Each structure stands twice: as C-alpha cells, then as structure tokens.
Structure 1
Amino acid sequence: MALNIDSRCLLLALPVLLLANPAFAATPSDDADTIRVTGHPDPEGLLPDQTAAKAVSAISAEFIGKQAPTFNAFQLVGLLPGANVASSDPYGLSVSSSLTLRGLGQDEIGVLLEGAPQNDIGYYYAYPSQFADAENIRQVTLSQGAADIDSPTVGGAGGLLSLTLDDPRARAGALLDLSLGSYNERRAFARVDTGTIAHTNLKAFVSVSDNRADNWRGAGYDTRFHIDAKLLNEWGNGNRASIAVSFNQADTSTYPSPTLADWQANGRGFNYDKHYTDGDTNYWRLYRSPFRNLYFSAPVHLVLGDRLTLDTTTYVQFGYGNSPYGTQLATTGNYQGTQALGPIALPGAEDGVATVLGNYTGRQFRAGDVAKLTLKTGVHTVTAGLWLDYGTDHDIQSYTSINPDGTPTDIWGYADKAIHTADGQLLAYEDERTTTVTKGFFLADSIALTPRLTLEAGFKGVSVLHNGQNYLPGPQAGVHFASFAALPRASLRYKIDDRSQLFANVTTNFRAPDEYTLYTTYDSGMPSGQGNPALKNEYSVSEELGYRVIGANVSASLTAFHYHFRNRQLATVIDADGALINSTINAGSQTSYGLDGEVDYRPAKGVSLYVSGEVLHARIDDDLPAGGDDLPTAGKHAVSSPALQAGFGGTYDDGRLFGSFALKYVGRQYSTFTNDESVPGYATLDLSVGVHLAGLIDQKRTDLRVNLINATNPHVLSGVEAISTNALNTIGRNGTLIAGLAPAYYIGAGRAVVVTLSRAF
C-alpha cells in the first residue's frame, strides 16, 4: 500500500497579513507605503495586496489548503488572469500538462522555488509535479508580464511563477494528512516541525509524502514520493538565512496526445494498449517516465547597516530521468550517426526484428548564485547585483530490451543495461552533452520623486554560452553558441491615496535558443534534424499600464499590456538540399496586446468572491518559412492564445464549515500558424466542502475535506500539446504545395473525488 502524506501545515497559521507584505519599487520610508484597510480582510489570499509597478497576482496557503491536496502549482494558479492551464490528469501527477501566460508557453515562463530556478536548462520547461508539496507552500506569485530584474531566468518574456515555502514553526508540532479518492487515489503526507531548537534561533521542518493513483483513462498508474525540508535562522534586526531541500522521485504515465481525427474517432478511448502482444509498440508499460530530482536553495538576507542590505541565493540541482517510448529495431541496417553498423544481437528478435524500449534519458547538474546589494540614500534606493549559473546536460537516446510479457528490463534507460553494438558501443540515436554558462549583472535605481510618485530605472545584461559535444560519428563534433542580451527597463508608480495606485512600465526580455536547436540528428545515416547555431536571441519589449485598488471590502486590479517580439524561434520543416528535415528557424516578429483584470469582493467575514479575466489580441506579423516557401501566416492569430479567458471563484469559512469553488473558461485556441485547426472553448469547475472538527473531538486542529475535481466532467481537448505550421495542405506564397501536419492535443482530465482527513499534533 502506498504511504501517502498530504501536508496541511500551511492551513495552521499563516495569516493573510503575510501576503500583504508589498514590494513597492522604492520609497524613502517604509511607512509611506503602508496600506491600512478596515473592513473585511481577504480571508483566502485570492488577491493579496500588491504594490509593485507591474501586474502581479498571487494565491496564499489559505486558498491552497481548500484545493485538492494533489494539485500542482500550474493547477493552483489556473484562476489567475492570463493563466491558461492544460492538464490531462486530474491529480496533477503526470508531466502531460502545460501553462501559457498571455499566449506565451512554458519555455517563456521563469519558475522559481525559494529564489532558485526550476526550469530545465535544456528546453527551459518546468515540471510542476516535481515541485514542493502544496501543503508546504506559503504563497504562489504570478507576474504575468515580466520577471523581476534579479530573477535568475533566461526566458521570462511570458512572466514569472514564484513559489515561497512555509517557514518552520516556532513551536514543535506535527501534521498528518490522509487522502483517498477516485481511480484508487491514495496519498499520505506527514510533516514535523522542530520548533525553536534549544537556546538557538534555529528551527526546521521536514515533510514526507507518498502518492499513488491509477490513470483516469487507459491502463497504468502514477507514483510520487517527495521530501521537503527547511532550516531557518533569524537574528538581529531582520537578518535571516535558510536552507531548503526538495527531493522528488516519480514514475508517471505519459498520456497519449491525439490528433483532431484521433479525438473525433476515439474520444477518451485514445489510449495505450492495456495488454501486450508480440510486436506491440503501443503497450502502456513502454510509456512510463521515471524521474529523480534533488534541489537545494539557500537564500540569505543580511542587514549590513541602517541603509545597506545584502541578499544572496545559492542553489544546486541534480536530476536524472527517462522519457521512453515503444519502437522496433532490426538486427541489420543500423547506423550510429552516419556510420553504418554490422549485425546486432537483439534479445527477443523474430525474423530480424525486435520490439524494444526507446529511451530518451537526461542527466542534469546545475549550480548558481544570484546576489544583490541594496542601498537606501535620500530619495534613492539603488540595487546592484550579479548572477552566475553553470549547468551540464547529457542526453542520450538509446534502446533497452523488453521481456516476453512486454515489461522493460530497465525503465530508467541506464547505459550499462541498454543494447550495445557487437564491438561494445552503446547503440544510440542521439548522444550529446552540453555545458551552459550564464552570467548576468543588474543595476537599478528607485527614486521617490515625490511622496506619491516613484520612478525606477534599471538595466540587466545577460550572456549565455552553450558548449556541446556530439558523440555520434558524423560531420558535427562540437557545437557552440554565445549571445548577450541588453535588457533595460523603467517603471512609474503613482500613489493616488492610501488605497489606490496607478503604475506603468516598459520592460525587455529575451530567450536564448535552447541547446537542442544546435545539434544535427540522423536517421538511417541521413540528417533528420538540422542544427542551427546562427539563431539569434528571441527579444521582446513589453509595456503595461495598470490601476490597483485595495479596499475595505473590494480589491481590484486592471492592467493593459502590449508586447512586440522579434526573432521568434520556431521548430519547423526546412528544405535542405532537396530534403525536408526538422530545424529551428527565425520566425520573425509577433505583436500582442490586451487587458487583464481581477476583483476580490468580501461581503462578509469569511466570505470571498473572486473574478478574473483576460482579453488577448495576439497576431503573427510575418509569413513563416516552410518547405522552401513561405506560409501565408502574416496577420493570423498566434497559437495557444485564447482571445478570452474568465475565472470565477470563491471561498467560505465560518470557523466550522468551509468550502470553495473555481470555475474557469478558456476560449478557442488555434493549434497551427495558418489557423486551419483549433481547440474549441471549454469550461471546468472544481468544488470543495469541509468541516473543522476542532472542539468536537478535542482542541487539536482536525479538518475533513471533500474535493470534487472537474465536477461537470467535460469531454474536451484542454490544450495544444504539439503545434503545427499548417494542418491542411497549403499553397505557399511562391506557389509551392506545403504538406499539412496534424497538431496533437491534451485530452482534458475527467471527474475525480478526493477525501482528505488532516490532523495536527
């Protein structure tokens, strides 16, 4: 039986006041920015007070604690403006999910946990099922438009998702959460707080969780074992230092992504095969993805004087995993890069062909530090800092034999257990190792021009270096990419009164080409993918104009935004000496603009109603090269960019009964650059109801909660898993017939019910 640990410690006692700790750009004194409101304070942190001169949304532990305990960070922010979450799993365990902000994808969104980057150093993607357990998260902050100037990210044009862990508690205690749900969901979470240790200022917590659930559609199951820990020391006048550790080991299913034709023919029945037959490459056990990750983060804040502070975050990460698939190999006719191989002995081969597990393994190491000094002098607050990041990524596509019943002999894809050639070489389709070094510096000055008006101007410079080695025989041995991005920014904030403010900003962001765009790949000795080291950084300039009010019973925010991108990077098909192969190209420019808004209404104590929305106009500015011609895409809608999104949520807590609801509508999303295929709009609804049992049994905090996920059980496609230039055959600008390629989609998750009992000790 899976031991499952659902950490509800966050519900114990992190008041919303923690969330109302605004980060104003700069002021001559802290009192000048204090916002004092009487009335009904936000009980759930659906719209915590913000003062930054940019669009910022957030949710707190109080709101998180009413959601399903299995939800990952993407699912938790689904109600916030601009957040388009495509999830194929109701419990948030599978990696088959995505998040876009204002139409910008996961590789454009920076993700931080305790100040440390969580994005994959190869693809820049982040995988929310690997993050900290929800019960240990104090706050999730979503900056839709721009990352902070000191954020250690290289792809923040789409914004920044930042997770802050709960602090260890001053008093010793423990928490146990047990959950049971649909599809044999079983989860347990346990957390222990040491309290203040002896006569020191040290305090710590450690939590363990274990989760297991069957696939809600098709055969298979998901498992997740997770550990979070944090050690904190606070002393003097605001000094603090902490070390956070997060370990995750998961073995999750990859849900197959249908084309539109597959969906129309099979609906939710589009799955991997439940039973194995000889030669079956679609068997579900061939598509399980084991991953193991270990993260360390050590943020430190030191008060060096009345006007000078030092902030530094050192981080180290290790990761290894496999994204396998079923395929077949022949005993003859194989190649290693461009080198033809002799006959290979394949276990289980019949008539010279064997069904095998195709591995795509990645082994990553990453370490870095971001440090800044902040000096307050007169009306100025000057910030200066440095960022250094070093990472290695070794990716191998190899093959592992399977047993007669279809089970892989090794699901992890370890090289020593994989298939080798007759002379002992590892048989590999790809074998490449990349070292990435990122260096950055930043300088900003926040000037209180008047008691109400603050101007901030800053500059950030970032260099990215990729050095790689292609270990397969062929003309490409090493790869190299170096770039520098100059990122100026400026903002204004005008404090109308103690409760309302106007803000405006201009920011620049970039995305360096990911390492995989540099390598040439081969199939049967011929190029199947063309590396492109001549790519330029994708660069964007964005502007925001916003109004924010923090009222006694109503808080609201409205932001108008505009983006212009140049050197958009696009994976597509090119004509290379008459052969059509995959490559990444410069796709020109794109323009986006729209409105984000959110309102939190608190009509009575313990009651909160929340509405959010986004209107988005995202257009492709240029025709896209494809197949030696240009596709007619200028003026078309950008992909995965719904023109309309709306959210409606609410919470209730009277001290005995509590509950919440979250309704989200996502409009039509195009899946091709020619707009010849799309996903219809859809809506989802999550509900929860619970009871605080403290006082009925004893005075210890005890909660019983029921979560209903996807209550209406919509049969929908929830998002685009793989975009395409054009789904239908299209005539290019120069008269060439450009063959269509069907996009692939996420199937929206089905209904699930989870019951959780939470007990504090």
Structure 2
Amino acid sequence: MIARCYPRIAGAALALPGLLLASSAMAEGPADGGDAADIKVVGHVDPEGLLPDQSAPRAVSAISADFITKQAPTLNAFQLVGLLPGANVSSSDPYGLSVSSSLTLRGLGQDEIGVLMEGAPQNDIGYYYAYPAQFADNENVRQVTLTQGAVDIDSPVVGNAGGLLSLSLDDPKARSGGLVDLSLGSYNEERAFMRFDTGTLGTTGLKAFVSYSINHADNWRGAGFDTRQHLDAKLLDEWGNGNRASISLSFNLGDTSTYPSPTLAQWQASGRGFNYDAAYTDGDTNYWRLYRSPFRNIYLAAPVHLTLNEHLSFDTSSYLQLGYGNSPYGTQLSTTGNYQGTELLTQPINLPGAEGGVATVLGNYTGQQFRAGDVAKLIWQTGAQRLTAGLWLDYGTDHDIQSYSSIGADGVPFDQWGYQSKAIHTADGQLLAYENERTVTVTKAFFVADSIAVTPRLTVDLGFKGVDVLHNGENYLPGPQSGVHFASFAALPRAAVHYRVDDRQQVFANIATSFRAPDEYTLYNTYYDGALAGTGTTALKNEYSVSEELGYRYIDPSFSASLTAFHYHFRNRQLATVIDSGGALINSTLNAGSQTSYGVDGELDYRPAKGVSLYVSGEYLHARLDSDLPVDGDVLPTTGKHAVSSPTVQFGLGGTYDDGRLFGSGALKYVARQYSTFMNDESIPGYATLDLAIGVHLAGLIDAKRTDLRLNVINATNPHVLSGVEAISTNAQDTFGRNGTLIAGTAPAYYVGSGRAFVATIARAF
C-alpha cells in the first residue's frame, strides 16, 4: 500500500504551477507572506548559521535552520552535522534511511554520544545507540547542537563521554499556514512533506503544528528499497513572565534495508558489488528480502518552564518512548537436532518447505522497548549566584528475542516483523528461540550546580552528579542462567571557568567526568547447539573518564572562530562490536583497558558580504591505548597502539550563498586513516566527500509566499571508499601474545561509502 502512493508524488510535482496559483488565492494574511517567524523557518536570506554565537564554558557547535533548509531534505541528523569539528559520519546510503550508519566524536562511538530531541533521550536503552532515520523531519528542526565533550549537568543521558547531539524542534507559528515540500531524485527517490500550523487558537494562547512525510528510495547498490513514513506534532503555550509548556510527538514507521558490511578482503574482491542476492534460489540465505528491517517508534516530550518568582524557577521535562522492530537475517534450520538453550528438543519441529530435513528461514532479532522518565530541577538566581538542584528518574524495559520465521518458495518471509505468534514453535508449542531475554533498566540521578559571577567578566561553575544504573533481567532459555542483576553507581564532579575578555573574545576551561555502565547484552549467556557460546558477566567494570578542555572564541558581525584543546583519560574503556555466533549476529562489548586522547578542535565562519558565509572546521586527534589487551588467556601487545575508529586528522570546508533570489551551499569533508583493530594490523585509508546545493527563491515572481526550487547533489565526486568501521576486532592477522600463544585473527567489517545522488525539491509555503 505504501509503494502504490508514490507515483502520485510525481504527478503532484507536475501539477505544481496550478497549485502555486491556487495557493495565492487561498492564503490569508498580509502580502509579505506572514510574520517574521513564518519566513525564518522556511529560509532566511542571511545564510549565517554554521557557527551560531555560543557562551557556554565548553566546546559547542551547531547548525541552524538557515543551513538545514539548503540541504537535501532526506538527510538525517548525523549527516547534517558531518561538517562540524570531530564529527566522523559513516553513511551506507545517500539518503540516510538505512540503519547502517555511524557517528563518532573525537574517536568515541555513538554508544558514547547522548542524543536528545526536545530534551528527551533518543538512545536505545539496551546498548545506547540512536537511530537518526527515526528523528524529526528536517523541515521541523530549528537547530542541531553538537557538544563534543562535557555536556549539561541535567542532560538525561549516560555514557556520554563523546558528547551530546541535541535537536530542537521549531515552535508552532503564531499565524496559521502551511508548508509543502516535494522531492524527486536518483534511485527512484520520491518524497512528500506537508505541514500545517494552526496559529494561535482564539484567546487560549495555544498554538500547534502537525506534519506528515512519506519517503521511498531504491537501494543505491544491490536489490531492495527503503520506505519511511513520519509524523511530527507540537503543541505550545506561553504565558506570563517566561512561562512555557509544550508537548511534542514524533512517530516513525520505517521499512529499510540493511546493507551488507564487507571485510577488507571482500571489498578488495567485489567493491560495491558486495551485496545481497537479487534473486532467490532454494537454500539461499543471502537473499535481499531476508535483510529488511521494519521498525516503528513513538517519542513524546513535554518540557515545562515555570517562573515562580523573581528569584526562583522550576523546569521539568517528561518523556515517553515506545518502539518495536526487527533486524532479521537469513539462516537454515533442521527439523531435528535443535536445542532450546541447553535443552535438546526430542521431537522434530515443523518447518514448511523443508527438504531433506532442512529449511531456509528468516532469523529474527526483535526488540520491544518502553521507556519513560522525567528530569526536574529548581533554579535559584540571586545576585551573582545561580544555584541548580535536580533529579532524573528513568524506567525502561527491553525484550529481545532471536526467533525464526518461515519463508515461501519465492524467498519472501511470511512475517518480516518477527511476531511471536507467527514464528516457528517447538512441537509442544514453545517459541523456538536462539535468544530470549527481558531487561528492566532503572536510572536514578541527582545533580547540584553553582554558577558564580565572580566579576562581570568572570564566571565559575561547580557541579556534582550522582548516577545509579540498575539492570534486572531474566533469561527465558533453559540453561544455567535465569535472573541477572547488575547495579552501578558513579560520582561525577565537574568544574568550569568562563572569562569574557571583551565584547568579542571569550576564553573557557573545564574539567568533567563521565561513565558508561556495561550494556545489558554483556549480562546474558548465549548458547549454540546446546553448548555455552558466550558467558554473561557482571564483572565488566564501568568505563570512567576524566576530560579537560581549554578554549577560545572570537565573535563579531563578520567573523567568528572557536578553538578548543581537549584531553581525555579512560579507565576500562568499553568498545561495542558485533560477533558472528553460529550464523547469528550478537552484540558484544570489549574492555580495552586504559586510553589517553588529546587534540584540538577548531572552526571559523567568515562573512565577507551580505548573503555570503565561508566555513572551515578541523580536528587533530591523538588517541592511544595505554594497556595490553587480554585475549584467550594471553595478552595482545596493544600498549601504544592507535585507538580504533579515531582518525588523526579531519577537516571540513563549507559555505553558503543567498542574495535573496539565488542561493547555494557546499560542504567538503575529509577524514584520515582509521584503524579497525587493537593491533593496528588493518585500517581503511582516508577519504573525502562533497555535497552541493543550488536553488532559487521564487517569492515575488508568482506571489509573496515563499517558494523555493532546489537541486542537491549528495557525495558529488562519488568516491568508491569504505566510510567507517562497522565491527572492530582485536587483531586481523594471527598474532603471538606476550606469553607466546598464537591468537587467531578475525576480520573486521566496514561500512561502504554511499554513491552519488541528485535530489530536486520544490518547497511552497501557504
């Protein structure tokens, strides 16, 4: 049903001239097209916004709606921030629809990066990842902020040594109106976006918007396609002395492809031809329809700010998250000789289509999550002092099952969602599962902070945060393990200094701490053919880091710059990877011991003339392991080796132009060599990507309403490269340990950089 609606998008694009003329008659309001806020959200003539003014005592970068509206509307939040310092983005498809993507900051992976939208956490509660294809549509995003190091003390995230990615949604407009975007592009890309603003509702002061988008694109390599339907909505009320309350909702329904990640040998042999099979043959476990990932998610956020009196204010931010999805794969099952955990099944199982007692099936990896929480804080402002005290409570459940579903003679799964009721069962009616566990995660935190204006120019911040993370779970498979329990507490002190040299210059310094509790997957046993394949543990220690930053900012009307030196030291550095256990992909975590990182981030934005902005960013990163790595009863000599996925050099060049009629932008990003093993015996070379955009504002030619035509070119130079590390390993080559044991090598896997894509968009405001 979804696919059938896309030809209508192309028809709507062809009918646009009539739509434009009709809209001018239907639109209400003054001839200038509405209030200033109306114009700003859909595109301001000033292209500045790559380096917004900042005053925080820590490294902060951001992009605003002025920049976002010039980019391809299909890009996800990771791709949008790729130009910023330290942001290393690995995308497997040009449109950002696939879950096969990654973001690292200063060499720290996305399980070390907190993600917020309207103040609500977006990270997976199981192993801390976030999925940018599920976030709000770009047309509704006011700003994306990237904090590369220390984050706000009240941020409801754990494992945020890498920083914080925060999305702020646009507020509903004071006047009623709407926006329609229609896009067509390479690989049969078709997208439609529609938004309606209610304006202020009578005398209530309430205002709201709701938007809907639908997107479809064929896979740029190999067989398959991606679809995405998305709904955003926000209701806002503002009253009195800065009082404000809102509730926002995002619903996402995606059915996307998982692009296969080759080893280096597979890449060298097949290049971009390393894909899933386009046609099904009997027994084929590599057929593309067995690797489609359907997901649905709902995110709710309800931030409230109340001014209680001239000194005291109260903030609360409640949130709710619901999600279900499947990350399947192709495998084979036998009718006999199966195990449920460690228990041998004495009765054969019924496998439709089995030949010789063997059938090709869909291996499901389903996850069902619920998460709810609240951050509440009181702020006392008196004279030169600002005191903050607050609590964060978070409750989540995660039920993960690896089951099996039958497929037809044509290779099409009977149920791609992996529902238990439709999955394969044992002869006595039990769900046949390779993995079946449910985890309850409870996070409790308190924080206090004191900001003191020692002088009109000098501010000192002190803070402390205590965080407790509790995992309670149950392994439903027969075997030596049933219930699991793991609790961890971390004390996180911090301090910062900010000095305003003059009206244009700032210096700052901070010291902060962070921790990452082991993810829930480290707690559980895994079984294969009735034997223990992996032992769950509660002995994996919390990762703990201490970081320092020293920074300088310069801000004036035509030139802005920021330079930050940073240093990290980690204990029990945790690194996420994926291992193949008997054909099933299992999330795993490695303790990499101690690590030291230091470097410099920088960015500048030069505006030589009205409508022109030139942007440069860069990073130098020195990340080294400080300890050897225990493996298989021996020790790999990893001391002094480069940290994985930590390019020494990155730089970006960008710019925007907008003279009120013509506009455009460009973004070039270079990422240096990245190692994929602790032994540094395998790596991928550096590469560069280039995105371009050109467009025209038609307002004033047809009517006064904002109408834009835009052409975006994603990855314009089309380099054939590996863009990042999907699964690390300890060593790629056979290596002798310190004690003389030969430790067998395991090949890492990589993301394949996406191909070039063209996207044409017409945007029309009403």
Tell me the TM-score normalized by structure 1: 0.94
Deviation at 1:49, TM superposition (A): 0.1
Residue 27 of structure 1 corresponds to none
**CA 14–97 in structure 1, closer or farther in 2 if over 3 Å, else same:** farther
**SS of equivalent to 1:135:** helix
**CA 586–720 in structure 1, closer or farther in 2 if over 3 Å, else same:** closer
Task: Identify which of 454, 458, 463 aligns with 1:458.
Answer: 463
**SS of equivalent to 2:365:** strand
Task: Identify which of 448, 456, 479 aligns with 1:443.
Answer: 448
**SS of equivalent to 2:271:** helix
Deviation at 1:254, TM superposition (A): 0.2
Deviation at 1:336, TM superposition (A): 0.3
Whether contact under 8 Å (2:38, 2:173) holds in the other structure is: no
Residue 387 of structure 2 corresponds to 382
Give the partner amino acid of 1:82: G
**Percent identity over the alignment?**
78
**CA 597–423 in structure 1, closer or farther in 2 if over 3 Å, else same:** same
Residue pairs, 1:266-277, within 5 angstroms: 266-277=270-281
- In structure 1, list runs of 5 or more residues that go unmatched: 19-39, 575-580
Task: Identify which of 552, 576, 582 aligns with 2:557.
Answer: 552
Residue 94 of structure 2 corresponds to 90
Residue pairs, 1:61-72, within 5 angstroms: 61-72=65-76
CA distance in 2, matches of 1:126, 1:15: 31
Give the partner amino acid of 1:753: F
- In structure 2, list runs of 5 or more residues that go unmatched: 14-32, 580-585
Deviation at 1:528, TM superposition (A): 1.1
Residue pairs, 1:11-90, within 5 angstroms: 43-90=47-94
Give the partner amino acid of 1:714: P
**CA 466–353 in structure 1, closer or farther in 2 if over 3 Å, else same:** same
CA distance in 1, matches of 2:694, 2:476: 56
**CA 683–584 in structure 1, closer or farther in 2 if over 3 Å, else same:** closer
1:94-146 C-alpha deviation (Å, 9 max, x unpaired): 00000000000010000000000000000100000000001100000000002
Deviation at 1:408, TM superposition (A): 0.1
Whether contact under 8 Å (2:39, 2:706) holds in the other structure is: no
**SS of equivalent to 2:656:** strand
Give the partner amino acid of 1:616: L
CA distance in 2, matches of 1:660, 1:11: 26
Task: Identify which of 161, 165, 174 aligns with 1:161.
Answer: 165
Deviation at 1:380, TM superposition (A): 0.8
Whether contact under 8 Å (2:179, 2:195) holds in the other structure is: yes
CA distance in 2, matches of 1:388, 1:146: 21
Deviation at 1:239, TM superposition (A): 0.4
Whether contact under 8 Å (1:229, 1:245) holds in the other structure is: yes
For the pair 1:240 / 2:244, whether they are aligned, the reply is: yes
**CA 484–269 in structure 1, closer or farther in 2 if over 3 Å, else same:** same
Residue 730 of structure 1 corresponds to 735
Give the partner amino acid of 1:235: W
CA distance in 1, matches of 2:574, 2:98: 27
**SS of equivalent to 1:517:** helix
Whether contact under 8 Å (1:16, 1:48) holds in the other structure is: no
Whether contact under 8 Å (2:45, 2:658) holds in the other structure is: no
Residue 32 of structure 1 corresponds to none
CA distance in 2, matches of 1:689, 1:41: 14
CA distance in 1, matches of 2:663, 2:284: 50
Task: Identify which of 589, 592, 617 aligns with 1:587.
Answer: 592
Residue 19 of structure 2 corresponds to none
Task: Identify which of 637, 657, 681 aligns with 1:676.
Answer: 681
Deviation at 1:583, TM superposition (A): 6.3
Whether contact under 8 Å (2:46, 2:658) holds in the other structure is: no
Task: Identify which of 461, 483, 488 aligns with 1:483.
Answer: 488
Deviation at 1:537, TM superposition (A): 1.1
Give the partner amino acid of 1:69: P
Deviation at 1:14, TM superposition (A): 5.3
Residue 512 of structure 2 corresponds to 507
Deviation at 1:42, TM superposition (A): 6.7
**SS of equivalent to 2:304:** strand
Task: Identify which of 183, 188, 197 aligns with 1:184.
Answer: 188
Whether contact under 8 Å (1:572, 1:725) holds in the other structure is: no
CA distance in 2, matches of 1:48, 1:289: 37
Residue 745 of structure 2 corresponds to 740
Give the partner amino acid of 1:168: P
Give the partner amino acid of 2:325: G
**CA 41–175 in structure 1, closer or farther in 2 if over 3 Å, else same:** closer
**CA 691–572 in structure 1, closer or farther in 2 if over 3 Å, else same:** closer
**SS of equivalent to 2:157:** coil
**SS of equivalent to 1:111:** strand
CA distance in 1, matches of 2:575, 2:383: 48
Residue 323 of structure 1 corresponds to 327
Task: Tell me the matched-pair count.
Answer: 731
Whether contact under 8 Å (1:41, 1:552) holds in the other structure is: no
Whether contact under 8 Å (1:531, 1:584) holds in the other structure is: no
For the pair 1:334 / 2:338, whether they are aligned, the reply is: yes
CA distance in 1, matches of 2:521, 2:639: 27
Give the partner amino acid of 1:403: G
Give the partner amino acid of 1:401: S
Residue 175 of structure 1 corresponds to 179
Task: Identify which of 614, 617, 627 aligns with 2:622.
Answer: 617
1:656-702 C-alpha deviation (Å, 9 max, x unpaired): 00000000000000000000000100000000000000111111111
Residue 525 of structure 1 corresponds to 530
CA distance in 1, matches of 2:691, 2:589: 39
Deviation at 1:16, TM superposition (A): 12
Residue pairs, 1:116-515, within 5 angstroms: 116-342=120-346, 343-515=348-520
Whether contact under 8 Å (2:294, 2:327) holds in the other structure is: yes
Deviation at 1:584, TM superposition (A): 4.2
1:373-427 C-alpha deviation (Å, 9 max, x unpaired): 1101121100000000000000000000000000000000000000000000000
1:542-571 C-alpha deviation (Å, 9 max, x unpaired): 000000010121100000000000011246
Deviation at 1:361, TM superposition (A): 0.1
CA distance in 2, matches of 1:478, 1:696: 69
CA distance in 2, matches of 1:573, 1:599: 38
**SS of equivalent to 1:486:** strand
CA distance in 1, matches of 2:671, 2:754: 15
Whether contact under 8 Å (2:437, 2:473) holds in the other structure is: yes
